[in-house]
Structure 1
Amino acid sequence: MGRHKAFDEKEVLKKAMELFWKQGYEKTSLQDLVDHMGIHRRSIYDTFGDKRALFLMSLAYYEEMLTNDLVKLMNAGGPSKEAIREVFSFTLNTAEYYPKGCLAVNAAVELSLLDKEIAQISTELFKKTERVFRYLIMKGQTSGELSKEIDPDAMSRFLHNNLLGLRVLIKTNYTKEELESIVDLTLSVLN
């Protein structure tokens, strides 16, 4: 008869995700994970596999969390410009209670040249965000809020590129006011 796990898998996975997010993959040792997750090394191997497998599960958890938040923003029902601004504001405000930046950006920068699977996962996360922007742009065009002259695909890539830059700058010493001014200028293209 197997032993009962004395921990919540989702909760310890969230802790692993946050540690990878804060420190990166290479800098995070298995001992760091043991200490931060509060479970034994053997439990990590038995439940999640090796460090790479745990990292991939952390990315999947992050994707689920991010997707849920983006879907809420998409379905909020307000004007499209306001919803697009909320995506940027969400990025600025989450730095207060999550590690700064974006786990997908960190993974892409640190590992995508070395690991094709992680490059693919990061790319798909980026494409999801672009699809959210595209949806909001098209919704705004349908309602008359946004010009039909806007190319939804090109604009969604532009907005996402700026969002990625914001996620990087959050990790530096830029002030919140400076970052908000970047958001204002970025979103001025929708006027």
Structure 2
Amino acid sequence: MARPREFDRQAALERALRVFWAKGFAASSTDDLREAMGIGRQSLYGAFGDKRTLYLEALDAYQRRTTSGHLRRLSDGGPIEGIENLLLGLVAEDDQERALGCMGVGSVGEFGVTDAELNARRQTVSDVLHKNIVLRIREGQQEGKIDTSLDPGEAAAFVLMTMTGLQLAARGGASSAALKAMARFAADRLKC
């Protein structure tokens, strides 16, 4: 008879997420993960499968959380304010958390386009964000607050690229003040 699980699966997943976020997939050993999660090898495999399956679950959890935050900030205030809030929301005040950058961007750096399953996951998130940013840009153009000469799709791609750049700059050690200045500068480029 199998012993019942003696740990909180969600808490263990959150701890694994933090390891992957900080170290990436390849540099996170099974022992690193087990230690952080506070579970044995058999519990890790029994509850989460292999390291890759655990990574994908952790990445999915991370992306659900961050994407919902992005969409909430994007919808807060007028179109320009929403886009600025989206970008400013990427800047963690805590130095250690800010230095982690973004787990999703980290997966791009680590895997590039070599992993079809990861590409599909990232594309889903990117498509949702792009669509919602386009809507805010169009809204701003209709209100006369965003430059109507801008193509909404291209402007949304610029905002997404800015998000990636901010997260890479954060990982590279940029200060909170510098990142916020970059976020405001990017949002200002959309104005009439």
Same fold, TM-score > 0.5, yes or no: yes
Structure 1 counterpart of 2:58: 58
Tell me the distance in 1 between the aligned counterparts of 2:100 and 2:81. Answer: 23
Kindly provide the CA deviation profile for residues 127-183 of structure 1, in whole angstroms up to 9, marking residues without a partner as x.
332223222212323444324333211100011101101100101232222222222
Structure 1 segment 116-131 matched on structure 2, within 5 A? 116-131=116-131
Tell me the distance in 2 between the aligned counterparts of 1:57 and 1:44. Answer: 13
Structure 1 counterpart of 2:155: 155
Q: What is the number of equivalent residue pairs in this alignment?
A: 190
Tell me the distance in 2 between the aligned counterparts of 1:148 and 1:18. Answer: 42
SS in 2 for 1:92: coil
* Ranges in structure 2 where 5+ consecutive residues have no aligned partner: none
- Farther-moved stretch of structure 1 (9-18 vs 111-120): 111-120
What amino acid is aligned across from residue 83 of structure 2 in structure 1?
Answer: I
Are residues 1:40 and 2:40 paired? yes
Structure 2 counterpart of 1:67: 67
Q: RCO higher in 1 or 2 (8 Å CA, sep ≥ 6)?
A: 2
CA change 1:93–1:146 in 2 (3 A) is same
Q: What is the alpha-carbon root mean square deviation over aligned residues? A: 2.0
Structure 1 counterpart of 2:78: 79
Query: When the two structures are superposed, what TM-score results if normalisation uses the length of structure 1?
Result: 0.89
Contact 2:83-2:133 within 8 A present in 1 as well: yes
Contact 2:74-2:82 within 8 A present in 1 as well: yes
Q: CA deviation at 1:49?
A: 0.4
Structure 1 counterpart of 2:5: 5
Tell me the distance in 2 between the aligned counterparts of 1:74 and 1:183. Answer: 13
Contact 2:74-2:85 within 8 A present in 1 as well: no
SS in 2 for 1:27: coil
CA change 1:174–1:96 in 2 (3 A) is closer
* Ranges in structure 1 where 5+ consecutive residues have no aligned partner: none
Structure 2 counterpart of 1:172: 172
Q: CA deviation at 1:54?
A: 0.4
Contact 1:141-1:147 within 8 A present in 2 as well: yes
Are residues 1:92 and 2:91 paired? yes
Structure 1 segment 108-147 matched on structure 2, within 5 A? 108-147=108-147
Query: When the two structures are superposed, what TM-score results if normalisation uses the length of structure 2?
Result: 0.88
Tell me the distance in 2 between the aligned counterparts of 1:104 and 1:117. Answer: 13
Report runs of 4+ in structure 1 exceeding 6 Å deviation.
none
Tell me the distance in 2 between the aligned counterparts of 1:100 and 1:187. Answer: 23
Tell me the distance in 2 between the aligned counterparts of 1:46 and 1:56. Answer: 16
